[in-house]
A and B are shown apart, each in its own frame.
Chain A
Amino acid sequence: MSNELFEKAADAICDADVERAEELAQIALDEGIAPLEMIEKGYTAGINEVGRLFDRGELFLPQLMGCAEAMKSATAILKEAAAEQGSESEESIKVVLGTVQGDVHDIGKGIVASILEANGIEVHDLGTDVAVEDFIETAKEVDADIIGTSALLTTTMGVSEELLKTLDEEDLRGEFKVMVGGGPVTKRWADKIGADGYAENANEAVSKIKELVD
């Protein structure tokens, strides 16, 4: 019975059907299925599938955003219930995310934010044109695990290096892991500036973050 529900939940995410996803969340609660199990086996399975389809080019950006939206609303309901039941899972991973100063590209970073959130990661999205100081200030305030920077221009990617240097000065390199991404950014460059991680796309970002925080 619950397996069937999990499948339906996954489908609802793939179809980007917000209402259906929410409805299924409610049904799961009514039937006494553990909220966290529902998220993990149902919705997360769905969003993973969405990620795969997007990577393969079978799904496009607007749909992807829709799916992520459905995921967010459904999991919000279940998480609230889980908190009430007192079965809150371990504290979620916290990521401070933004496009670096001088760069106003929003879409790529937006996708990453949605997918991370869909995977149960707490995202503090600072938007675009974010100063180095603001990344660090927010990370300190929220006790972040990861700082993620996005840069779409060759002229702005250097800001990520400034961020790393500033963390050096504050002796905080051990405190926050830094991940870099964006069009012109490569794994090689990330290694060269001493970043802790690089991901080519949102799905990879999820696994890399989990690996780093582990």
Chain B
Amino acid sequence: MKKVLGIDTGGTYTDAVIYDYQTEQLIDKNKAITTHYDLLEGITEVITSLKQELLSEIELVALSTTLATNALVEGQGARVGLLLLGYEQEYLEKFKFDQQIPTKEIRVIEGKFDIKGIETEPLAEEKIKQAGIDWQDKVDAIAIAGYMSVRNPAHELRAEEILSGLVDLPLVCGHRLSSKLNLIKRATTVVLNASLIPLIKELCQKVKQVLTAKGIDAPLMIVKGDGSVVKDEVILTKPIETILSGPAASIIGAKHLSRIDDLVVVDMGGTTTDIALIDDGSPQLATDGAEVEDWQTCVESIKFRTIGLGGDSEISLNRECEIKLGPQRLIPYAVAATNYGCIITELEDIVEKKLEFKQGQFLILNRDAEYLDLNQREREVIELLESGPKSLAQLKKELELINLQFLGVERLERLEVIKRIGLTPTDILHVLGEYTHWSQEAAQLGYELLFLELKNKLRYRLAVGEANLEAERFAIELKNKVVKKVAREVGLQLVRQNSKVSQYDNLGEVIEHSFDKFERFNWDFQLEIPIVTIGAPAQAYLQHLSQYLTAEIIVPQDYEVANAVGAAVAKVIVNEELLIKKVEGSYILYYSQGREKFSGLNEALTAAQELGKKKVLEQAEISGAKRMEFSCQVQREGLGSLVAAKVICKVVGDVI
């Protein structure tokens, strides 16, 4: 048996796979459109279309979700109060740190340690009590971040103890989330983490309800940003660790599907393309910590590069008659016309009347807007759309607009009340006959609209001879443009990993030049490792990367659901880093729960290994690991003059 249901949600599509651990085979797979305003709808839909007889056999559900990232980007987190221990209000303001921390409710409390973890200022316990009392009904969670708490967490722990007896709110301490020095980043992380707790709790509960309703009786695990999984109840205390878990799942999926350990992963979705490098089986982690929106956190995440280009990216034309790709996402003509025949009729009319390409885009109602406080224009637009999608040309006419700039539907689009339909790379594939799944007719009409406008404009600007475009060749050019842009970004990402070269300006241009052919020499961008391409448009677009890059391009089987595969096959990974420092003749061991003093280095090392092993095994157990593999590494060199040794303990465990 040993069947796992892997789900990936948050991107353009929600993917699900059923994976059999015993035979190492994918038994079933499915895709549905993600419903960003309520992820549950997409999840329910994707499960409903799986083979229902398999559902009762599922023993574990692994979910990768970008709920946390989305919530932070949209500022939907809960209200958080921050206790900042051992900092001065004056300097907080002077260096504008208060603006870097994502809450206004900040209390600065006395109490600090020095770099060695020795108390230099006692904790002002009364003020903590006062804060607790004041915040009782004002915030949804309390974050505690202490100066040097990674060297000595005693103050954070004491503050937590005081508050836990006083208020009934989730409490989060800095030292549990990061072992890196930087109070401000740590405070940011703790605040964001606290703000996500109520959201992730709700999601987990609801997902479980959906699973139960579908007859799935299995524990739930969640994918983290470093590519490992943990039980849902563990992530409830550290929801921040799920940020950027989408790319993490795709990397694990790509690795698993291709069975290759050194590779470049290119994951093309509907909206974005992610590029990451994997050496020796493990992706590189970002040393600075993940950045979300404008908040700099200290959460470990996989290093990757995102570009705003996917299968459903908008193809637009600027004033200089240049084609632009992305970053806006549209519903492709081909897809929309399958459900709404009126789109084809209207497009034919627009082509006939030779209207602007831009006016050929459509708006469509996506969901209820009852709860919104709508203005006059928004109400009018929604009313018009209630009978089905309308082209911008129609809307312009019916609303008597002088110019489409005055349409004023930005908010409705942002909230996904309405969506836009237009020409995308997916349509181009239909034009070329490479895809036939949806309406080729609509794609062809939309493409014609672009082509005619471009041809007209070019004729106006250039001599007639130069404007002699061929429809067929232009479509191929458009397709190559997408591939070329991805190739350029792959090149950039590879070069940037080599920090010395990355200082040059115009690196992108240089890389693009290497794609060109020269008469007397070859200047190729050559990769020594294969590129594994995944995501729905991989087959059509990414396998052509070899036109520009000299590399082996692999499109593995099941490439379109690689993210869900990644969630299904991810493992439990627990790391603990212990530092031993020499301080005034004795050795001090620092670990995530405190510090201990030893007279000799050997004693300290033995203690570190024992302590580390115990901690990671415990944590792995809690996280839901079965069949654990333990490893321990002792580093003695290259640690700077302060650190005598570093002990890294690691457990990798299967989930089933």
Contacts and interface: CB of A to CB of B under 8 A. Distances in A.
B436 to A, nearest CB: 55
Contacts of B115: 132, 162, 165-166, 169
Contacts of B95: 171-172, 175
A157 interface: yes
A210 interface: no
Interface string A55-99: 000000000000000000000000000000000000000000000
Contacts of B185: 171
Contacts, number: 45
A161 interface: yes
Interface string B153-188: 000000000000000000000000000011111000
Interface in A140-179: 140, 157-158, 161-162, 165-166, 168-172, 175
A107 to B, nearest CB: 24
Contacts of B114: 132-133, 166
B395 to A, nearest CB: 49
Interface in B544-574: none
Contact of B640 (A140, A161, A166, A172): A161
Interface string B124-149: 00000000000000000000000110
Contacts of A170: 147, 183-184
B151 to A, nearest CB: 8
B642 A169 contact: no
B94 interface: yes
Contacts of A192: 640-641
Contacts of B641: 157-158, 161, 189, 192-193
A133 B641 CA distance: 20
B120 interface: yes
A142 B590 CA distance: 34
A53 B148 CA distance: 46
A12 B138 CA distance: 70
Interface in B180-198: 181-185
Give the secondary structure class of B's interface: loop
Nearest to A167: B181
Interface residues of B, number: 19
A79 B91 CA distance: 31
A169 B182 contact: yes
A18 B185 CA distance: 52
B181 A165 contact: yes
B181 A162 contact: no
Nearest to A166: B115
A133 B640 contact: no
B183 A171 contact: yes
B97 interface: yes
A188 to B, nearest CB: 12
B301 to A, nearest CB: 19
Nearest to B582: A158
B97 A161 contact: no
A149 to B, nearest CB: 14
A122 B150 CA distance: 35
Contact of A168 (B116, B182, B642): B182
Contacts of B120: 133
Given A132-B114, A162-B642, A169 B91 contact: no
A119 B455 CA distance: 66
B399 to A, nearest CB: 50
Given A132-B115, A172-B95, A161 B642 contact: yes
Contact of B97 (A132, A166, A171): A171
B183 A165 contact: no
A162 B642 CA distance: 8
A165 B182 contact: no
A140 B148 contact: no
A27 to B, nearest CB: 44
Interface of B: 91, 94-95, 97, 114-116, 120, 147-148, 150, 181-185, 640-642
Given A132-B115, A170-B147, A171-B182, 20 more contacts: A132-B114, A133-B114, A133-B120, A140-B94, A162-B116, A162-B642, A165-B115, A165-B181, A165-B642, A168-B181, A169-B115, A169-B147, A169-B148, A169-B181, A171-B95, A171-B97, A171-B184, A171-B185, A192-B641, A193-B640
11 contacts: A158-B641, A162-B116, A165-B642, A166-B115, A169-B115, A169-B148, A169-B181, A171-B183, A171-B185, A192-B640, A193-B640
